[in-house]
C-alpha cells in the first residue's frame, strides 16, 4: 500500500496514508480548529501557500457540494487530517472529499497524530512542511523545504480575478430558515478589490442591497473612479500583506480618501498599510470558527471565524487617526478599527463565517448604513 509522509522544517517526520492526489507539495503548515466546513476551507483563496491541518478528528463524512464552495477552484497547497471518512452521507452531497482532492490535484495525508502536530505548531509557530505520497527519500524532502518561504511574498497575484465581473447571488437558505440579515441600501454600487475574495462575502454584500462588481486587486485609483462606485470593499486574501508593492498601496490610499470603505482580514491589513501602520507575523495565527472577539463600541462579544497569520500592531494605531473597535479575547490582538473622521471600517476576522458562527454578520448591515 502506498504511504504518505509529512516532514516539517524542524525535522519532525510523520508517516500516514495518502488522500487525494498522489504527489509532493510544500507549504506553510497551519491548523484550523473548525469542526466542519472543510470544503469552504479548501476553496478559501486565503490559504494559498499553506498546508492546512484539521484538528477535528474525522473529516469528509458529509462529502462536498457546489453550493458551499468559496471560489471556483482550490488554492490550498496540501491537506492533513486524522481520519478521512470513507463514507460520505448527506442529502446535499455531490462528490466525496477524496475525489474532490484528486480532481483538484491536492496532495493530502491522513492517519497521523494531528494533536501532536498541532502542539508542535503552537510551540514552534507555523512551520514549512512537505507532504509526499511519492517514493522520495528524506533528503529529497528536505531539499523541497529548503529555502521555501511565503513571508514578504505577494501571493495575491495567484488568486485575484483576471477580469472584472458582476456578482448577484444571495445567501443560501433552507426553506424553513428566516433571513437573518436586512436589506439596508438600494441602488448603491460597491466595488470589490479582489485579493482572494470568498463568495460568501459577496453574497452578504448582495443580501444587504449592494450592486456588487469585483475587480482585480491591481486596479488604479483612476480605474476605480471610472466604475463610479458608491463604496469600496477590500477583500480577504493570502499571505503577507507587506508583500503587496507600495505603488498599489498609494493607489488604495487615494481611493480610501474618496470613498466609504470596508476591509476584511487581508483587506483590513492593507488598509492599515495605507495609513502607515505596522503589520506583524503572528506565531501561528488564528484559523478556526471559535475565536471570541469583543466589540468595544457596543460592548458585545461575538464568537467568530478567523483565518490569518498576520495582525495590525495596536501601538501603531495611536497617531494614525484610527481607533480600535474590536479585540481578540484570547490574545488581545487587534480585530477591528475605524477612522475617526473618514467613513472607513475594517475587521480582522470573517463576519461572513463559512465555516463558522453568524454572530458578526451585523457588520455588513453596519457598512451598508455607513454608505447609505
Which of 265, 291, 308, 326 is catalytic? The answer is 265
Quick one: which of 263, 262, 267, 351 has its CA closest to 304?
351
Are 92 and 221 within 8 A, CB to CB?
no
Spatial separation of the C-alpha atoms in residues 288 and 308, rounded to whole Å: 10
Provide the grid cell at 128.
514549512
Which of 70, 83, 251, 352 is catalytic? The answer is 352
Spatial separation of the C-alpha atoms in residues 250 and 246, rounded to whole Å: 6
Catalytic residue list contains 352: yes
Which of 83, 211, 350, 361 is catalytic? The answer is 350
Q: CA distances (Å), 26 to each of 29, 48, 80, 106, 202, in order?
A: 9, 11, 12, 11, 30
Spatial separation of the C-alpha atoms in residues 349 and 344, rounded to whole Å: 16
Task: Please measure the distance between the N-terminal and C-terminal CA atoms of the chain and give it in whole angstroms.
Answer: 61
Spatial separation of the C-alpha atoms in residues 317 and 324, rounded to whole Å: 8
Give the residue numbers annotated as catalytic, written as ranges: 265, 350, 352
Amino acid at each position: 500500500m502506498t504511504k504518505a509522509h509529512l516532514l516539517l522544517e524542524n525535522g519532525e517526520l510523520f508517516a500516514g496514508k495518502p488522500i487525494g492526489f498522489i504527489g509532493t507539495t510544500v507549504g506553510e503548515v497551519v491548523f484550523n480548529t473548525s469542526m466542519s466546513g472543510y470544503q469552504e476551507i479548501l476553496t478559501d483563496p486565503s490559504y494559498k501557500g499553506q498546508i492546512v491541518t484539521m484538528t477535528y478528528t474525522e473529516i469528509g463524512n458529509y462529502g462536498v457540494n457546489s453550493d458551499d464552495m468559496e471560489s471556483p477552484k482550490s488554492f490550498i497547497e496540501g491537506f492533513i487530517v486524522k481520519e478521512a471518512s470513507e463514507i460520505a452521507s448527506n442529502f446535499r452531497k455531490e462528490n466525496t472529499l477524496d475525489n474532490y482532492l484528486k480532481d483538484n490535484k491536492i496532495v493530502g495525508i491522513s492517519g497521523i497524530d494531528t494533536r501532536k502536530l498541532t502542539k508542535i505548531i503552537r510551540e514552534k509557530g507555523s512551520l514549512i512542511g512537505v507532504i509526499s505520497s511519492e517514493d522520495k527519500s528524506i533528503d529529497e524532502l528536505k531539499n523541497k523545504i529548503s529555502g521555501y518561504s511565503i513571508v514578504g511574498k505577494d501571493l495575491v497575484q495567484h488568486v485575484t480575478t483576471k477580469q472584472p465581473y458582476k456578482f448577484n447571488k444571495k445567501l443560501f437558505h433552507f426553506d424553513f430558515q428566516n433571513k437573518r440579515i436586512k436589506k439596508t441600501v438600494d441602488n448603491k454600487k460597491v466595488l470589490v478589490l479582489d485579493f482572494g475574495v470568498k463568495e460568501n462575502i459577496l453574497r452578504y454584500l448582495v443580501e444587504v442591497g449592494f450592486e456588487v462588481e469585483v475587480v482585480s486587486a491591481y486596479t488604479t485609483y483612476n480605474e476605480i473612479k471610472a466604475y463610479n462606485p458608491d463604496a469600496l470593499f477590500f477583500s480577504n486574501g493570502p499571505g503577507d500583506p507587506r508583500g503587496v508593492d507600495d505603488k498599489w498601496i498609494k493607489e488604495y490610499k487615494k481611493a480610501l480618501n474618496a470613498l466609504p470603505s470596508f476591509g476584511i482580514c487581508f483587506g483590513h491589513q492593507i488598509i492599515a498599510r495605507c495609513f502607515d501602520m505596522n503589520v506583524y507575523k503572528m506565531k501561528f495565527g488564528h484559523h478556526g470558527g471559535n475565536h471570541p472577539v469583543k466589540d468595544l463600541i457596543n460592548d458585545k462579544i461575538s464568537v467568530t471565524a478567523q483565518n490569518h497569520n498576520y495582525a495590525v500592531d495596536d501601538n501603531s494605531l495611536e497617531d494614525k487617526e484610527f481607533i480600535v473597535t474590536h479585540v481578540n479575547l484570547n490574545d488581545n490582538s487587534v480585530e477591528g478599527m475605524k477612522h475617526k473622521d473618514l467613513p472607513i471600517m475594517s475587521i480582522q476576522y470573517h463576519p461572513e463565517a463559512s465555516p463558522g458562527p453568524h454572530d458578526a454578520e451585523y457588520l455588513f448591515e453596519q457598512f451598508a448604513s455607513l454608505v447609505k
